[in-house]
Structure 1
Amino acid sequence: MKRAKRGGIPLAAAVGLAVASLATSLTSVAADTYMPACYKPAPGVTTTIKYPARPGPYRVALVNGYTGIPWRTQMIQESRAWAARPENARNIKELKVVSTGADVAAQIAAVDNFIEAGYDVIAFDPVNPKAFDAVIRRAKKAGAILVSFDNPVDNAEILQITPEWTRFESIRTQATLDQMPVKKGRLLEVRGPAGNAADRDLHAGVQKIVSNYKDIQVTEVVGNWDTGTVQKVVSDAIAVNGNFDAVTCQYGCQGVTRALQAAHSPAIPVGGDAANGFVKALAAQKLPGVAVSTSPGQGPVALQAAVALLQGKTFPTRAYLPIPYVLTKDMKPDVNYFPNLPDTYETVASYVDCGISFTPQEVNKFLADNN
């Protein structure tokens, strides 16, 4: 994939945690951590996390938060697909999945239930970054291992696996602004759920880049990562303010392209997600833009790490995942978007550096319901 540049510098370049848990080992981060090309130490992380190996097969739980979001649906499907593969199934006695919605108390209760039921490891995508200290202490006392993924928690006592969200948004915002013919005007920022750690860090990424452009003003709206909501708030923003000069959107970004089309907006730069409908729309509407991906393969990546921790493998205490992206001008059908697949399909289903790869056919064999 080609890298966009700014002033001859690659776009991606423009942009010691202390752990105390049951028998956890703290050492300097070194090349002997598990799959270092996948689980890369976050900048400034100088310690590792390791637990005594325990015999398998293991009881594994996955606790999702938000529901009704296609990314979460596919993440659960991919997690089940990964666990069903023979090489992984032999290590997993059972995998239980539960989605609790946006209620942080319900998510904490679900984690507690799995701790009390004696599960070996619980991977969870946290609703709120600051609410999990008490349940982390309870897991430690009970001997359960917790792994957070996707959205980080503000707690250094468990393994955290996440994209570097501020850099993620810096890549998207920089690529969007790079495609503005004149670096001045109004940028519409479509944010996610209030109070969410990823939204917080993504917003910081926008601010980091926009601070370099004194003639660009930002208008914020909240799309809640939902395509319908995004379409409404973008349409409302255009109705109130007139056309914008660029848009950056966290997720549900097909709502942006629909709103722009309905408003007969000029072909302005749009930065968004990697959902099939959005990427197809960028190509079809000839919008200069960028699709930046956090793959739903994060679920399997987290489960892979969870099993490896149970087997005594070593990880950096906070691991950052790769950030794939592609510009409209480089998009190709059946490579970056899929004309014959649903709009909700996440076009980047894999993390190749993590050994995680799926076909749509494999993913669609599995359901995303609670069990």
Structure 2
Amino acid sequence: MGGYMKHFLLSSALAVAATGAAFADTYRPECFAPAPGTSEISYDAKDGPYKLAFVNGFAGNDWRIQAIQSAKAWAARPENAGKIDEFTVVSVGNDSAAQIAAIDNFIAAGYDAITFIAVNPTAFEPVIRRAERAGTILVPFDNVLDTDKVVQVNESQKALGALKAQTVMDTLGGEADKILMVNGLPGNATDRDRRLGMMSVLEQVEGLEIVEVVGNWDTGTSQKVVADALATHGEFDAVVSQHGSAGSINAMQAAGHPIVPMGVDGENGVRMLMDELDIPGVSASQAPAMSAVALEAAVALLEGNTLPQTIFLPIPQVQAEALEAGVNYFPDLPKSFNTGTGYAECFAPFTPEELLGQSPDNT
């Protein structure tokens, strides 16, 4: 592990330790761990059962599909179902106005809490105020908001980006001439912060050329843009990919590109390819089951518990040399299946059967 990442992880650990004492009284800190420097939020307790909604934006990739399935699987578990009067899931696409309108509709319908993956980080201040007046709790997750007014559930996206970039640079001995960066969906806080994390490492490499393409966190899109980049720029020393990484690998294989270090996502098919092709690097991602943690947080707040304003969940990750069939990837499951099936600190991870038994449709 390189010096930068050692310093980064040590600094993060010290920051969490320094804030731990201040959060001794927050609810279930082993699950709802505070981001360094965050505040606390609580609301007056409400009697259940509750009306809950999950307002997804973009639904065009496997991660979002499994996030919806995870939310539904959480709601179906007996310990949660008894607390729920109504649970609704809608996906609205990449239009922030449509997402805000859907949230407003649920507020007007008297829903107690709404979780959502924000289409962009800056357009939600008015709806936050409307929710507060109506007594509706909002819990954004994954693509979060630039606000400190509501509880938000996330991983450190900058740390995730830095982890991938530092791993490939360590594998290369700290030197490289040209690296391909496959970014996510433009306009999202998650895409922005992961890129910042990657750049915080790569910008320190003297003489490095960084070629960036937009993969939209989608396998098919990533395959096309990586193929175009290879045709235009030739060979790369390494690749860092936010998501849709199977497409990046497939494009490189189709072009006859040599095996190089990669920082990739946690989809089952990606890990299968890494192991099969002996690709060095790291598979690290954000578990789609974060959707369920957001619902768990919403109910905790409705019950009157105090939570950190920004919750950072651990980053699911495995180094290439530690990949093992049946342990951290599953040859008998679909390639699109995401290996991040839950956070054991919060509740028992979902089984594949629980997830695959749920539809990704609006309900």
TM superposition score category, shorter chain reference: over 0.9
Distance, in Å, in 1 between the alignment partners of 2:245 and 2:261 is 13
One of 177, 187, 192 as aligned partner of 2:184: 192
Structure 2: 5+ residue stretches without partners: 12-20
- 1:10-37 Cα offsets, whole Å, 9 max, x none, are 486278xxxxxxxxxxxx9421212212
Mean Cα deviation higher: 245-254 or 285-294: 285-294
Mapping for residues 161-310 of structure 1, pairs under 5 Å: 161-180=153-172, 183-310=175-302
One of 334, 337, 343 as aligned partner of 2:329: 337
Q: Secondary structure at the match of 2:23?
A: coil
Q: Secondary structure at the match of 1:59?
A: strand
- 1:52-78 Cα offsets, whole Å, 9 max, x none, are 111000000001111121111111111
- 1:121-143 Cα offsets, whole Å, 9 max, x none, are 00111010001111111111111
Distance, in Å, in 1 between the alignment partners of 2:300 and 2:145 is 21
- 1:86-143 Cα offsets, whole Å, 9 max, x none, are 1111111110000111111111111000000000000111010001111111111111
Q: Is the 8 A contact 1:62 1:122 kept in 2?
A: yes
**Partner in structure 1 of residue 149 of structure 2:** 157
> Is 2:28 the counterpart of 1:35?
yes
Which one has a larger percent helix, Structure 1 or Structure 2? 2
Shift of 1:212: 2.1
**Partner in structure 2 of residue 6 of structure 1:** 2
One of 15, 20, 37 as aligned partner of 1:44: 37
Mean Cα deviation higher: 36-45 or 71-80: 36-45
Identity %: 46
Distance, in Å, in 2 between the alignment partners of 1:48 and 1:357 is 27
Shift of 1:239: 0.4
Over the aligned positions, Cα root-mean-square deviation in angstroms equals 1.5
Shift of 1:41: 1.4
Q: Secondary structure at the match of 2:97?
A: helix
Q: Provide the aligned length of Structure 1 versus Structure 2.
A: 354
One of 53, 56, 79 as aligned partner of 2:48: 56
Moved over 2 A (4+): 7-12
**Partner in structure 1 of residue 138 of structure 2:** 146
Q: Secondary structure at the match of 2:259?
A: coil
Distance, in Å, in 1 between the alignment partners of 2:120 and 2:316 is 25
Distance, in Å, in 2 between the alignment partners of 1:195 and 1:75 is 20
**Partner in structure 2 of residue 367 of structure 1:** 359
Q: Which amino acid aligns with 1:344?
A: S
Shift of 1:215: 3.0
One of 85, 92, 95 as aligned partner of 1:100: 92
Structure 1: 5+ residue stretches without partners: 16-27
Distance, in Å, in 1 between the alignment partners of 2:174 and 2:303 is 54
Q: Is the 8 A contact 1:297 1:356 kept in 2?
A: no
Shift of 1:253: 0.5
